[in-house]
Amino acid sequence: MLLRRRSDKIDVLKKVPLFGDLSRRHLDLIARHADEVTLDAGRVLARQGEHGLEFLLIIDGGARVERNGKAIARLGAGAFFGEMSLIDGKPRTASVIAETPVALLVIHRRAFGHFLDTVPGLQKKILLALCDRLREADVTLASMN
């Protein structure tokens, strides 16, 4: 997937629940700072233990999430990752590996922080996504006992 124009990025962002109800102005701001990257299957998109430098949004393709070498989740179009390390400045908690060729929108640390501070509702949406992930982890842990 090649997004040739900023309006193409905006169209993709509108379909992602995290960004879907943002104003056109805010979507345009995010699109201006989001770089499109395409990578082959097998590429490590984020490595556990490393400090994160970017927020990543899958726009096409699939990836698996691994913690300590064990697959714990699968991600597809619309899924995002990397926000935790950007928010708290601590190393990444898991690795993400492309299972298919993937197209990503990449937002670097500085722009991501700016968006959190200036885009109304984005902080809450990210908090809700983190809550969902925590609840999913609790269910997974409970099923292991």
Give the whole-angstrom CA distance, residue 138 versus residue 102.
29
Tokens of 122: 């984005």
Domain 6-144: CATH superfamily is Jelly Rolls (2.60.120.10)
* Beta-carbon count within 10 A of 134 CB: 10
Report how far residue 17's alpha carbon sits from residue 33's, in angstroms, rounded to the nearest whole number: 19
> DSSP letter at 52?
P
Band of residue 2 on the pLDDT scale cut at 50, 70, 90: low
Q: How much is the pLDDT for 145?
A: 72
Q: What is the overall mean pLDDT for the chain? A: 91
Amino acid at 1: M
Per-residue pLDDT tens over the stretch 92-138: 999 999 999 999 999 999 999 999 999 998 999 889 888 988 898 88
pTM, whole model, 2 decimals?
0.87
In the chain, where the domains are located:
6-144
DSSP 76-137: -TT-EE-HHHHHH-PBPSSEEEESS-EEEEEEEHHHHHHHHHHSTTHHHHHHHHHHHHHHHH
* Predicted confidence (pLDDT) per residue in 132-142, tens digit: 888 988 887 78
